[in-house]
Structure 1
Amino acid sequence: MSGVDAASRARLPEKGLGLALEILEQVARHDEGSTAADIARAVGAPRATVYRVVNSLVRDEYLVRRADFSGFLLGARVLELAAVVDAHRRPAYAPVVERLRAETGEAVHLFGFHSAGLTILDEDAKHPLSDPATLLGDPTRSAIGHLWLIAHPDREAPRAPRWTARPSAEELQAIADAYTVRGYTEQVAMLSPDRGCLAVPVRNHRAETVGAVTLSTSISRLSVAARHVHALRGAAEALAGVEPLSGW
């Protein structure tokens, strides 16, 4: 036995978990699939050994043969494991926002507040923001921006560098007065001619507004959608101690 063969066998035992994992890694690196010969060359193991391990992985559904039998792809069990890992990596706020979307059937977005303006934390993929550039640049044109202005009464708004528009004192007073009456902010046709939005503040343990959860819908449904304010407030309470909102 040559020195190279001995090293390969020591590093990659013909039977065992080590070789199986390295085979899976090699297949994962190639979206189009890998042949057993390619895998054998990559891992430095005898082709007969690789065939044996690959067949075992196919039998246990960790690998699957391509339809044209030209190679192997990752199987259902590996994909299921990847989904579990991905679920654990999801932001802590994701389940709250997803439940709210399912409950209301409307577009729901989550924003974070900071001294520079707004950050989009979770945009509804099925109902994207109609004009994110304006929303992030002019606090007077969105319900979320109105909440930011209310949350920063001691600032000469908008001193935040992301804001491109400066609200007048009259606008600020009208926004504050409406919020006092409703307990949430609202905009109608300011970003899109046929859409409106409601925004409820998310507060941290010091009662500081650190973000907002919003519901957007067609103008014709906006008054009906107001019935979801209770659900929005419940979600906002659930989000109060959730990262990254709790640290903003």
Structure 2
Amino acid sequence: MNYRPTRSKPSTASNPLRILEIVARFGTGTTAKEITDALQMPPATAYRVLNALVADEYLARTSDLRGFALGHAISGLITAATPPTVTTAARAVIAEFRHGNRFAVHLIMFRNGSLRIADEDPDYPLQPAFEMLRYPHASAAGKLMLAELGDSTSPPRGEPLMKLTQHTITDRGQLEEQLAEIRFTGEASEINELAQGTASLALPVRLPDGSVGAAFCLSGPSERFPAICEHAEAARELSSRLAPLLF
């Protein structure tokens, strides 16, 4: 098997990614010689990068020490790049709930301390989606995730919480009080915190062990938040139906 890089002069910074690609293509047991031959890479360069990838656990040596395999740390990259899996049955249940609903309905899944859009309402796209994913302290789904994690360490302590609107909670003490309340009530909300004029209610979708693996969210104009809350019990019931279809 021969593989040739598509770029004639790849940058030094791309070498680790090129090596990972070769090991992924060739499979467990890929040797250093196979890597250098495939990439036309100087052996000294290849061994330096290989040693660094092994040290960082992106690669692992095979038991006979003759070759390499993808390491434990690569799973985080794969998870981040792979869209959340939502079964056809789960999508059908969500679509049924959306029918005739006046508010946006979204399914947001939790992965490794981050939010992932699993099923976005096609009629009411997430707004603003980037801010919701990047700043969990400002969204209902994000607060539900932080409450499950048990703290408000996103971003890490020492870094300020981003203030997206004048209503965004940026005091960690106040946020932690809200997270404690979310753990008690089993629901999270935000009004004008993520974006001025919007509001959202998030209900937990639980894994078999009882932990929270996703948020079922209802969103709409902030002045309509009381009306959104009128659907809370129906949304909670649907979240229970979703759980075995997702996890």
Pick from 185, 188, 192: which aligns with 2:191?
Answer: 188
Percent of pairs with identical residues? 27
> What CA distance in whole angstroms lies between the structure 1 residues aligned with 2:188 and 2:97?
18
Structure 2 counterparts to residues 148-167 of structure 1, below 5 A: 148-153=145-150, 156-158=153-155, 165=161
Alpha carbons of 1:146 and 1:131: their partners in 2 closer, same or farther (altered >3 Å)? same
**In structure 1, what residue type is equivalent to 2:143?**
H
TM-score when normalising by structure 2: 0.56
TM-score when normalising by structure 1: 0.56
Query: Aligned pair count?
Result: 153
Q: Which residue in 2 is equivalent to 1:106?
A: 103
- Which ranges in structure 2 are unaligned for 5 or more consecutive residues? 1-85, 163-169
Alpha carbons of 1:185 and 1:154: their partners in 2 closer, same or farther (altered >3 Å)? closer
Q: Which residue in 2 is equivalent to 1:240?
A: 243
Deviation at 1:148, TM superposition (A): 0.7
C-alpha distance after superposition, 1:165-208 (max 9, x if no partner)? 58653133232244256431110112221110000010011001
**In structure 2, what residue type is equivalent to 1:121?**
A
Pick from 102, 117, 122: which aligns with 1:120?
Answer: 117
Deviation at 1:157, TM superposition (A): 3.7
CA contact (8 A) 2:152 2:172 kept: no
CA contact (8 A) 1:112 1:212 kept: yes
> What CA distance in whole angstroms lies between the structure 2 residues aligned with 1:164 and 1:112?
25
Which is greater in Rg? 1
Q: Secondary structure at the match of 1:126?
A: coil
> What CA distance in whole angstroms lies between the structure 1 residues aligned with 2:107 and 2:160?
22
Alpha carbons of 1:171 and 1:127: their partners in 2 closer, same or farther (altered >3 Å)? same
C-alpha distance after superposition, 1:84-140 (max 9, x if no partner)? xxxxx9633111111221253210000111114011001111101111111000111
CA contact (8 A) 1:149 1:172 kept: no
What is the Cα-based RMSD across aligned positions, in Å? 2.5
Single out whichever of 102-111 and 124-133 deviates more from structure 2.
102-111
- Which ranges in structure 1 are unaligned for 5 or more consecutive residues? 1-88
Q: Which residue in 1 is equivalent to 2:204?
A: 201
**In structure 1, what residue type is equivalent to 2:118?**
L
Q: Which residue in 2 is equivalent to 1:223?
A: 226
Structure 2 counterparts to residues 77-92 of structure 1, below 5 A: 91-92=88-89
Structure 2 counterparts to residues 30-45 of structure 1, below 5 A: none
Q: Secondary structure at the match of 1:240?
A: helix
